[in-house]
Amino acid sequence: MRAARRAIITTAVAAAAATAYLSTPAFLDQGERAALVVLIAAAGLWITEAVPLVATALLIPLLQSLLGVQSFGDSLRPFFDPVVMLLLGGFLLAASVEKYDLDEYLASQVVFRVKADVRILLLVMMIATMSLSLWISNTAAAAIMMTLALKLVEGAEEADNFPKALVLGIAYSATVGGVGTLVGTTTTAMAAGTLKRLAGVEISFLGWILYGLPVSLLMVLAAWLLLLFLFPCGGRKPPTPEMAMRPLNRRQRLTLAVFALSIILWLTERIPDPLIPLVGWRGHGLSSNVVAAVIAIILFFSGLLEERDLSRVNWGVLILIGGGLSLGEALEVSGLMNRIGEALLILTRGAATWLIVLIVSFFGLAITVMASNTASAAIFLPIAIGIASSTGLSPAILAAIVGITTSLDFMLPVGTPPNAIAYSTGKVSLREMIKAGLILDIFGGLITSALAITIWPHIS
């Protein structure tokens, strides 16, 4: 059955791509028509997931070569983009943190220090999850904190709302935390990489934090208030997990030191101009991907990681990002991205900036319901940058919007791994997840749009 479905969808996508190639207007040249075929094939296979996402990513450079968009060597170059090194360093750092249970230790320490009732505990758990998700994968952050959460709600009555609010709060916080940094989730790294390749604009690690962290913080606050409204709860705090009482061992302390060093180096790459007179320093100047390489080397040379720990790295995601960057470059070098931008300019001609921002934000939210977050970003980022070049808007702002909104999928268990983890606990029903998630999706679009209109232009 699965093989038949795969064959039918693949044939349909191939037919759609061929039809587009043969029926496109004459004003599109050979390269633009070929790039359109690559775009339709990649989007169709990514959205339907008829084949693994990684397989589609590897198909992109092959199609470019066969159709004459770029040489095979040029189309493979984005797979070795600096942003891939940045994510690899982030994955290795997260692997070290998880290997020595440092993440669970830090999370349990947070709970140990909370003395208030469950409503404040819910907020603290959400902030702790968000903070973890800034530096390790959303899935890992959700899995770690969900384990802790389930220990906290052991013995809770079925009618109690606190377990529902807690598991959803952790899932939502893991998702929104990822958009706060370039290593938190793949879509932010892809946004930075695509922006540099297609628009020549580079966002530093700290620069992205100025875009993404306010979204993370406001979304955590919005999610907390929403959960308290939908699932009213109160009462005394549950007992503290046993792990909070144990001291750190030597390897945990060493891992914590490397973790702290990585954050310091990432944050001090380039000091913002207003702060330079205060600190008397412009920053060390090492790009975030170089810092990631340094951290990776330290982890292996110190013995914290060994060769077998490479299995902890999600290599498929790195290949997927390379495929997305390669697709964006194909649209750029062929000229198709400019054509798309011109077409969208006609549709948005005379529209106010705020309306364009809202359209991009909610389109990002909509497309990620149909496809994976990374695939959605790969498809929409080049188009958004094309809109920016045609309308005169900041490409950095539109790229940041897409990088953030394509990660904000709260409605269904299949939307994100944190959603699936929350649903798998059995503490929340599908109806409850859809209701809370739909409202939070709308909040996400509005919050991102509001920041993009009011605050981000001053950052750019």
Q: Which residues of 85-114 are buried (b: 16+ CB within 10 A; e: fewer)?
A: bbbbbbbbbbbbbbbbbbbbbbbbbbbeeb
Residue 371 confidence (pLDDT): 64
Q: 47-51, 298-302, 385-389: which has the highest mean pLDDT? A: 298-302
Indicate the pTM of the whole model.
0.73
Residue 107 confidence (pLDDT): 66
> Distance from first CA to last CA of the chain, Å, rounded?
51
Give percent of the chain above pLDDT 70.
Answer: 89
Q: What is the CA radius of gyration of the chain?
A: 22
Give the tens place of pLDDT for each residue, 127-149. Answer: 989 998 888 778 778 877 886 77
Provide the domain count of the chain. Answer: 1
For residue 324 the two structure tokens come to 């997305």
| Residue-by-residue DSSP string for 105-158 | HHHHHHHHT--S-HHHHHHHHHHHHHHHHTTS-HHHHHHHHHHHHHHHTTT--T
Q: Where do the DSSP E strands lie in 194-273?
A: none
The helix (run of H) or strand (run of E) holding residue 162 is: helix 162-178
Give the tens place of pLDDT for each residue, 146-166. Answer: 867 777 776 666 557 888 999
| pLDDT tier for residue 93 given thresholds of 50, 70 and 90 | confident
For residue 231 the two structure tokens come to 């699932």
- Who has greater pLDDT, 81 or 237? 81
Residue 244 confidence (pLDDT): 53
For residue 161 the two structure tokens come to 């709302």
For residue 10 the two structure tokens come to 């693949």
Mean pLDDT lowest among 309-318, 402-411, 437-446: 309-318
Residue 305 confidence (pLDDT): 94
- Domain extent at residue 31: 2-459
Contact 296, 183 (CB under 8 A): no
Residue 115 confidence (pLDDT): 63
